[in-house]
Amino acid sequence: MIQYFSSDEKQLTPMANPEMSVNIASWINVEAPTEAEIKVLTQTYQLPHHFFSAILDDQENSRVVGLDDKSGSPLMILMQYPKFTTSPLGYLGYDTYPIAFILTEKTIITVSNHPAAFIQHFVMHQRSLGRVIANHEDFISHILWFISHDFVTALQGTAKQMNRLERQLTTATKNEQIYQIMALQKTLIEFNAALQQNQPVLKKISSGDQYFSTAELNALSDQTLIENNQAMTMTKNQSQILDQYSNMVSAVVSNNLNDVMKILTSITLILTIPTIIGGLYGMNVGLPGAQLASAFTWIMVATILICLITLHILRRHNYM
């Protein structure tokens, strides 16, 4: 899918005639491009094929191409971004995928193999940026900040999941908590790898002389680096906490099961008392007090008293 936008001093506007994008300032957003679409784009904008095909590999590494090239060649920045997904076991998590930013003289092209939430957020809610983006370098700088901020937002979500998980551990008796930890650990491993890849690219952009060299863009690049560093710190801390959870969850589940079995055993012991008494007085032999008219009442009273005494003893020894 290819979306064409033109920009003016007020807003981004979808272009009715895509051919005009060659001659005017424009933004082209490409999602899951086919080979035919890649061929059209490479021929129309005179771009290398690998600028587009790189994002088709979900394991592609972050990098920047042409940042220090003063010959006027296109600039390509490839970054990792988080995407909300569901694990095979049905638990919520995140994966990371590459997205490419291609900067030519007139055009910005963003290319991703999967829909990027921050791209659609930018298209639908441009006012959330505080101002209209008309400069291409400014445009890319803000989107790079959005990527780093999305990592932080996603990690805030995983922190809430971990808090819920911690509360569940007090009563955990099944493997469900272990599966949740697995899903969270997978997310954090993905985030750690992606953030480690994005970090040198952001540093290289921040120190570039040809692109992103104004004071305002340098300040925005520094903010993006701060967001990325914050996400890296959050990922590290949450990974360490999850490692502790993983080490203790088996012990907690085992201990909770022991508590359940202890209670069930105590209940079984108490219920065994009336069974034994009923079995004895159900025998077809002479028994003490069997001739009394109130024999059943006395047997029931004695049974209840013995059960209550047994319950009291079990509670005193913390078996109930």
Q: Which of 122, 98, 151 is nearest to 12 (CA)?
A: 122
pLDDT tens-digit profile of 239-289? 888 888 777 777 777 777 777 788 888 888 888 888 887 777 777 666 676
- Say yes or no: 250 and 262 in one domain: no
- Say yes or no: 236 and 265 in one domain: no
**Residue matched to tokens 């920009």:** 7
- Say yes or no: 145 and 241 in one domain: yes
* pTM for this prediction: 0.72
- Say yes or no: 175 and 262 in one domain: no
- Say yes or no: 163 and 243 in one domain: yes
* Portion of the chain with pLDDT greater than 70, in percent: 80
Question: How many domains, the chain?
Answer: 2
**Which of 225, 255, 285 is the endpoint of a domain?**
255
- Say yes or no: 308 and 159 in one domain: no
Q: In the prediction, which pLDDT does 213 show?
A: 64
Q: Which of 12, 17, 64, 55 is nearest to 221 (CA)?
A: 64
pLDDT, block means (10 residues), the chain with 320 residues: 70 66 72 85 83 84 78 81 82 86 82 80 57 67 86 90 79 71 88 91 77 74 88 91 78 75 84 81 68 75 85 76
Range of the domain at 292: 256-316
- Say yes or no: 187 and 261 in one domain: no
- Say yes or no: 154 and 166 in one domain: yes
**Which of 255, 274, 304 is the endpoint of a domain?**
255
* CATH number, domain with residue 71: 3.30.460.20
CB contact burial 179-206 (16+ within 10 A = b; e otherwise): ebbbbbbbbbebbbbbbebbbebbeebb
* CATH number, domain with residue 285: 1.20.58
**Which of 255, 290, 308 is the endpoint of a domain?**
255
- Say yes or no: 170 and 304 in one domain: no
pLDDT tens-digit profile of 173-198? 567 777 888 888 889 999 999 999 99
85 DSSP β-pair partners: 93
